[in-house]
Amino acid sequence: MENLMAGVALAGIGIGVVFAFLSILICAMYFAGKVMACINKYFPEAVVADGGMKSPAASANKENEVAVAILSALIKSGTLRK
């Protein structure tokens, strides 16, 4: 019975330590977000002039054009056999 109580006490201590660590981690991330928001107010990031990221459809269309160009070059050179 002593071993069982020692195991329960050890498990309780372990769970408490993990809970405390996660609580501290959540608070630290919250305050880091607030600090970064304050820093970003005074030192904003540069805005990309070309509109940012391309749409997936435009990227897929460009990939298709490249694939067609490669295939047509292979067919014309005779490297690609039927």
- 52 has a pLDDT exceeding 60: no
Q: How far is Cα 8 from Cα 14, in angstroms, rounded to an integer?
A: 10
pLDDT (0 to 100) of residue 31: 97
Position of tokens 């020692």?
6
Higher pLDDT, 13 or 1: 13
Judge contact between 72 and 78, C-beta under 8 A.
no
4, 5, 18 from 12: Cα distances, Å: 12, 10, 10
> Given this model, what pLDDT does residue 50 score?
63
Q: Are 80 and 74 in contact (CB under 8 A)?
A: yes
Q: What is the pTM of this model?
A: 0.50
pLDDT score of 49: 67
> For the segment 33-46, what is each residue's pLDDT rounded down to a tens digit?
999 999 999 988 87
What confidence tens digit (pLDDT) does each residue in 13-24 have? 999 999 999 999
For the chain, the domains span 2-77
- Distance, CA of 20 to CA of 12 (rounded, Å): 12
